[in-house]
Every structure is written in structure tokens, then in C-alpha cells.
């Protein structure tokens, strides 16, 4: 373990306020370097790192507060090539510690982890719950599951059980659990009820939730005696990969002609960049416009697109002072929907994340202001 590099990471996290009380020793007790493959991609730019060729850069990445991608495109893309979509990573230390603080796992707890990844988070959870607790980790990729179990066994965390299965179904053979933590982002309205069913009353479920217009809300649920769960957003935002079956394709190379004058046209005084550039107001749009994507060019163009129906809307400055020209095409009038949602958000007092209440029952899921 490179103690000087670890000390620098700890100092950085403390300075940024990303060092939850009581969880700091985890970084020293469960060294990240033991769970980072010899070849991977570091940071937002996916810089290839190789422990053999350049051990210094590899160690620098291992002890930095950044994500380390360990797989692209379900393993199709081989290092050092950068693929289209990351499909496994070793998460940022600040994000991991923040999620553990929100989860509140304690010694003796039985924890279900969704998304084993490299095994690092499972090892830290095992360290938290101790010898009287249990950690079960579900990993959909058989190769990743096998490699993670090998790392866990090699580093002394044999008690972490890695189960190769779709995490959305939970792991019923080892239920019920005190805590469920997912490092897989789930789509709004698709929180697996299996997690609720397999959690003890009074237990906690922590998961990132995303919509096509907004990603990153971390939601903490409490499970109740009646088999329902209610939750609220946590202050921290995170970005995690989706379930492999939920991943929607990126925007195609050929997008609509946003200035097609044969589309339906009208004008508006609502500034689209203001409603889209603010994460709080954009979440209200995400709730109202499921499946929709957006794009924004400050001061020039904003657009919405629904890949499911082919509907789209674009907004550009109009010749009139303070007005914008709206073009819409398809069975949905996406700008009308977005403007109505934004108006409702304003009239509701501009509710922020903690104002939203999430409810999950066996037959429905809802999100409302409460």
C-alpha cells in the first residue's frame, strides 16, 4: 500500500467534505489497489493505465478520487481501446463513502449488494458488518462475478458471497436483509419490488434512480410492515451505470432537422436553457416526460426527443424580443408537455429533491410532492 498516496487522498476528501465520520479507516483497512485490475481506464477521459508498463501512473489512479473503468461494452472492447459504453467500474471513493454513510449499515447486519463490480465495495461492507454480519453480492456478468470472488478470497474476504444472477430479482435464498445497496442505477418507476420483498421491515434500500432527462438522484427507502417502501432523495448526487437490459441506445448519428419549417410551429416566452440547465427544475421535467432525451446549445437551440414515438421539439430564439420559436413533430407535443411541467413546478414553489416522496408497493410506484 502506498501510504503517502493514501494520505493525499484522505486529505483531499477531508478538504472537500467527502469524508463521513467513522468511515475514514475503510480506505486504509480495505486498500483500493487490491481491487483494481492491472489494466483499466482512469478518470472521465478514460485514460488507459497499465500496472506493468507504468506502475506510477497506475498507483496514482488507484489512489485518486476518480472512477476507474474496468470493462467496456460487456467485455467486447479490449484494453487499451476505449469503447462506447462503460459496463463495469471501480467507483469514486467519495461516492462509495457517501453511499455507505447514507446506508447506515452496522455490525451484525445482513446486506445485499446489487452490482459486485471489482469486489471492493463488497469487501468494505464486509468490514463494516464484521464477523457477525453477512454480505451477499449479486453480479449479472459471470466473468466479473468470478473475478470479484477471486479478489475477495485472495484479500481475506471469503465471507462475501458473490452470486452470479440478475440483481433486479434480489437473492431470495439469503433473504431477508437488513440493508440493500445498489450500485446499479434503476429507471424511474422501475425500482425492483423484489428488493422490498427481501428486506426486513424497518430495513433500508439505497439506490441511484435515473430518468432520460436526469441522472443521479440517490434515494433511500425505508421498508414498512405492510410490504411498501417510502423514500426521499439524499443530498448527494451520484452517477452509476444502468441495468444492462435498461440501457437505451445513445442518440443516433442522424438527428431530426430541428429547424424543419414543415413541423408545427408556435412561440413561447419560456427560456428553455433556464429550465434545462438547472438540475432541480429538470427533475420535474424528467418525471413528466419519461423516455425523453434533451440537448441544449446555450442561447441558440434546445431540443427534446422521444426515441419511442419519434416525436421531437426544438426551440430557438425568435425575431421578437424575449420570444422563442417552437417547432414540434410527432404524436407527442413535447415542448407543450415540458412547459406545462415547468409551470407546475414554479406554481408548486420550486420543490427540490428532498421534497419528493417516493412510494413503492407491489402493484404501483409513485413520486409526489409531500
Per the structure block, which three cell numbers stand in for 173?
435464498
Per the structure block, which three cell numbers stand in for 308?
419511442
Per the structure block, which three cell numbers stand in for 101?
454513510
| CA–CA gap between residue 341 and residue 347 (Å, rounded) | 10
Buried b (16+ CB within 10 A) or exposed e, 338-353: bbebbeebeeeeebeb
Task: Tell me whether residue 15 is one of the annotated catalytic residues.
Answer: no
What's 131's DSSP letter?
T
CA distances (Å), 132 to each of 107, 110, 129, 202, 349, in order? 7, 9, 7, 20, 47
Catalytic member of 89, 91, 214, 281: 89
Look at residues 208, 307, 211 and name the one whose alpha carbon lies nearest to residue 250. 307
| CA–CA gap between residue 49 and residue 253 (Å, rounded) | 30
Strand order in the sheet with 39-42: 47-50, 39-42, 68-72, 86-90
Per the structure block, which three cell numbers stand in for 126?
464486509
Cβ proximity of 126 and 159 under 8 Å: yes
**N-term to C-term CA, the chain:** 48
Per the structure block, which three cell numbers stand in for 43?
478518470
| CA–CA gap between residue 359 and residue 4 (Å, rounded) | 46
SS3 track for 247-311: CCCCCCCCCCCCCCCCCEEEEECCCHHHHHHCHHHHHHHHHHCCCCEEEEECCCEEEEECCCCCC
Ramachandran angles phi, psi of 122, nearest 5°: -65, -40
Residues marked active site are found at 89
Amino acid at each position: 500500500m502506498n501510504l503517502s498516496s493514501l494520505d493525499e487522498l484522505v486529505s483531499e476528501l477531508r478538504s472537500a467534505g467527502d469524508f463521513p465520520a467513522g468511515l475514514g479507516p475503510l480506505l486504509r483497512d480495505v486498500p483500493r489497489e487490491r481491487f483494481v485490475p492491472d489494466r483499466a481506464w482512469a478518470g472521465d477521459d478514460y485514460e488507459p493505465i497499465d500496472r506493468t508498463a507504468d506502475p506510477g501512473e497506475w498507483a496514482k489512479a488507484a489512489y485518486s478520487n476518480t472512477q476507474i473503468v474496468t470493462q467496456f461494452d460487456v467485455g467486447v472492447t479490449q484494453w487499451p481501446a476505449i469503447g462506447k459504453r462503460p459496463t463495469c467500474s471501480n467507483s469514486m471513493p467519495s461516492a462509495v463513502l457517501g453511499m455507505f454513510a447514507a446506508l447506515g449499515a452496522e455490525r451484525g447486519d445482513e446486506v445485499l449488494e446489487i452490482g459486485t463490480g471489482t469486489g471492493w465495495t463488497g469487501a468494505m461492507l464486509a468490514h463494516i458488518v464484521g464477523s457477525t454480519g453477512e454480505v451477499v453480492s449479486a453480479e449479472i456478468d459471470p466473468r466479473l462475478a468470478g473475478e470479484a470472488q477471486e479478489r475477495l478470497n485472495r484479500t481475506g474476504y471469503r465471507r462475501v458471497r458473490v452470486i452470479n444472477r440478475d440483481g433486479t430479482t434480489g437473492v431470495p435464498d439469503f433473504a431477508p436483509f437488513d440493508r440493500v445497496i445498489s450500485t446499479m442505477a434503476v429507471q424511474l418507476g422501475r425500482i425492483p419490488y423484489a428488493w422490498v420483498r427481501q428486506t426486513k421491515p424497518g430495513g433500508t434500500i439505497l439506490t441511484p434512480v435515473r430518468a432520460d432527462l436526469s441522472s443521479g438522484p440517490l434515494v433511500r427507502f425505508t421498508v414498512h410492515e405492510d410490504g411498501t417502501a417510502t423514500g426521499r432523495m439524499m443530498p448527494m448526487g451520484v452517477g452509476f451505470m444502468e441495468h444492462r437490459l435498461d440501457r437505451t441506445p445513445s442518440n443516433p448519428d442522424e438527428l431530426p432537422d430541428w429547424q424543419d419549417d414543415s413541423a408545427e410551429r408556435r412561440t413561447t416566452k419560456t427560456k428553455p436553457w433556464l429550465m434545462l440547465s438547472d438540475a432541480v427544475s429538470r427533475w420535474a421535467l424528467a418525471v413528466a416526460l419519461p423516455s425523453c432525451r434533451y440537448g441544449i446549445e446555450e442561447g441558440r437551440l434546445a431540443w427534446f426527443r422521444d426515441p419511442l414515438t419519434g416525436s421531437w421539439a426544438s426551440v430557438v430564439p425568435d425575431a421578437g424580443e424575449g420570444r422563442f420559436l417552437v417547432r414540434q413533430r410527432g404524436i407527442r407535443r413535447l415542448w407543450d408537455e415540458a412547459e406545462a411541467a415547468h409551470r407546475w413546478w414554479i406554481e408548486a414553489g420550486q420543490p427540490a429533491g428532498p421534497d419528493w416522496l417516493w412510494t413503492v408497493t407491489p402493484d404501483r410506484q409513485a413520486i409526489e410532492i409531500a
